[in-house]
Amino acid sequence: MRCLVTGATGYIGGRLAPRLLAEGHQVRCLARHAGRLRDVPWAAAAEIAEGDLRRPETLPAVFADVDVAYYLVHSLGQAGFESADREAAEAFATAARAANVRRIVYLGGPRPAEDGGGSSAHLRSRAEVGRILLASGVPTAVLRAAVIIGSGSASFEMLRYLTERLPVMVTPRWVRNRIQPIAVRDVLRYLIGAADLPPEVNRAFDIGGPDVLTFGDMMQRYARVAGLPRRLVLPVRPLSPTLSSYWVGLITPVPNAIATPLVESLIHEAVAHEHDIADFVPDPPDGLTSFDRAVELALMKVRDAQVETRWSTASGPDAPAEPLPSDPAWSGGTAYTDVRERAVDASPEALWRVIEGVGGEHGWYSFPLAWSVRGWLDRLIGGVGLRRGRRDPHRLQVGEALDFWRVEEIVPGELLRLRAEMRLPGRAWLEMRVLPADGGRSRYHQRAVFLPRGLAGHAYWGSVTPFHAAVFGGMARNIARGAERDDPSVSSRPARR
C-alpha cells in the first residue's frame, strides 16, 4: 500500500511514517522543504516529495498513485489559523479526489459542544477540517482524540512541566473537568489500522484510553509515576482561560501561541462518546494502554545506557514514547548540562589513561575539598559517599562502583560514562570522551547531565551551578594537563601555534 503522510516533520507524522514503513507499506512524505527530513533515520526508506497544501498546483504529483492519504497538519500557533486550516483541508480534499485516493485518515481533536457555543477556536477548526474531508468524496476516517500522552506531545509537555515545577498549584476550576487521555502508541495503532477500513466507512470515531480522569487527577498520577510527592491543587474561580494560558506560559516552556488554544480546549469535558473503532481495529489482547503506563513510557528517556533522549523505531509493548530529534526544543522535559572541551597536547592513548584512572586514590582532578564535602553530605543523608573507592587503580569495567558513581558505559580509548548513585533530587551522569586531533594530539570532551525531579531538582542545580567552573572546569584542565605530563612524546613535538 502506498501511503502519503502530511505533517511528517510534526509530532504524530514523524512517528507514523517509520511505523508504516515497518509494516511494509510504501511511504511518501509531503514537506514544504525536503531538507527538513533529510537527516531522520528512516529518510532513505521513504520518498520525500516537496509540496505545499497552500499551493494546490504543487499537489497533483504528490498524490499520484497514493492509496491512503494521512492528514496530520494544522496551523496552530499562527495568526489566522482557522482560515489557513480551512484552505489546506480543501486543497487536500480536492487533490485526493482527483487522484482517486482510496482513503483519507485524519487525526482531529475531541468533538466540540453540540451547538458549537463555548467551544475553543482550536476545536472548532479541527471539527471543520473533519467535515471538509468527510465531504470530499473520498472515504474518510476522522479519529477524534483528546490529550495524547507521549513525550513531545504539547498537552503532555504542559502536564509534565506544571506537575514537576509546582508542588503547590492554584489552578482554574477546569482542572476538575473530565478528560479521556490516550497513549501515543494507541493513536498510532488506530491510524495504521484505519487505512484498512472498508470503503463504505466514511465517518468520525472517538478514540481514547481506558482511563477517564480530571486534569487534576492526571497531575497527581503523573507525580506518582515520576516519583514526586503528592501535589497540592487549589482550584479557584477567577482564573479565566486567558489568564490560565499566561500562567502556563510563565511556568512551562510551551509557547503561549500553543498553550492558549490547548487551555481553551480543556474548558469542556473531552470524553469519548463511543468506541466503535474497536469494530474495525480491535483492542490489543492486553487492552489499551493505561494512563500510568503511558506516562512511564514517556519518561523512559534514558534507555540502553544512553544519557540523552533518543529516537527509537521500536513498536513493541515496551517501546518508549520518547522525543524525536524533530520535536520542539521545549519537549522532552528539562535536562541541565555542563559541557567542557579542551585541546590536549598528548596522544589519545595518554589522555585515556588519565580518564580511566579517575576516582579512588587518584581523586577527581579538581577541588578535592568540594568532592570530599559532597561525599560527607551524601553519607549524612544516607547515601554511599566516597567510601567505595574503586576496584582496580588502572582499569574500569561496566557495572562496577566508583566512589559514588556507577560505571554505566565504557568504549576503551574513547568513552567513559558514569551514573551518579549519590542522593539527588533527580538523575545525573558524567561523561568523558577522547576525540582524536591532528598531529597525534587529542581533544578532551566532558559533559555532566542532570535530569531534575520536581522543584527540588531545579533548585539543586541552581545551587551548585556557581561551583561548576571550579569543579568541572578544573577537572577538564587537570585531566588535560595530566595527559600532557604523562605523555613522553610531548616534549619532542613542535610547539602549537
| pLDDT score of 193 | 96
Judge whether 364 lies within some domain. Answer: yes
- Are residues 118 and 233 located together in one domain of the fold? yes
CATH of the domain at 251: 3.40.50.720
| pLDDT score of 313 | 37
The residue among 270, 298, 326 that closes a domain is 298
Judge whether 250 lies within some domain. Answer: yes
Nearest one of 204, 206, 205 to 179, comparing CA atoms: 206
- Are residues 272 and 341 located together in one domain of the fold? no
Q: Measure CA of the first residue to CA of the last residue in the chain; give whole Å.
A: 61
Residues of the chain with pLDDT under 50: 115-116, 301-320, 497
| pLDDT score of 386 | 66
The residue among 248, 277, 298 that closes a domain is 298
Judge whether 138 lies within some domain. Answer: yes
Beta bridge partners of 446: 340, 432
Domain that holds residue 108: 2-298
Judge whether 130 lies within some domain. Answer: yes
Residue type present at position 356? E
Indicate the burial class of 153 (C-beta count within 10 angstroms; 0-12, 13-18, 19 or more).
buried
d(CA 2, CA 451): 41
Cell 531522520, residue located: 40
pLDDT tens for 29-68 read 998 888 888 878 888 899 999 999 989 999 999 999 999 9
Total count of domains within the chain: 2
d(CA 260, CA 130): 22
| pLDDT score of 125 | 86
d(CA 58, CA 95): 10
| pLDDT score of 255 | 67
CATH of the domain at 365: 3.30.530.20
The residue among 268, 283, 298 that closes a domain is 298
- Are residues 480 and 424 located together in one domain of the fold? yes
Cell 497552500, residue located: 54
Judge whether 447 lies within some domain. Answer: yes
| pLDDT score of 67 | 96
Nearest one of 150, 266, 275 to 206, comparing CA atoms: 275
**pTM (two decimals):** 0.70
| pLDDT score of 291 | 96
Nearest one of 142, 119, 21, 157 to 71, comparing CA atoms: 142
pLDDT tens for 150-194 read 988 888 888 888 888 888 877 777 778 889 999 999 999 999 999
Nearest one of 47, 34, 42, 33 to 14, comparing CA atoms: 42
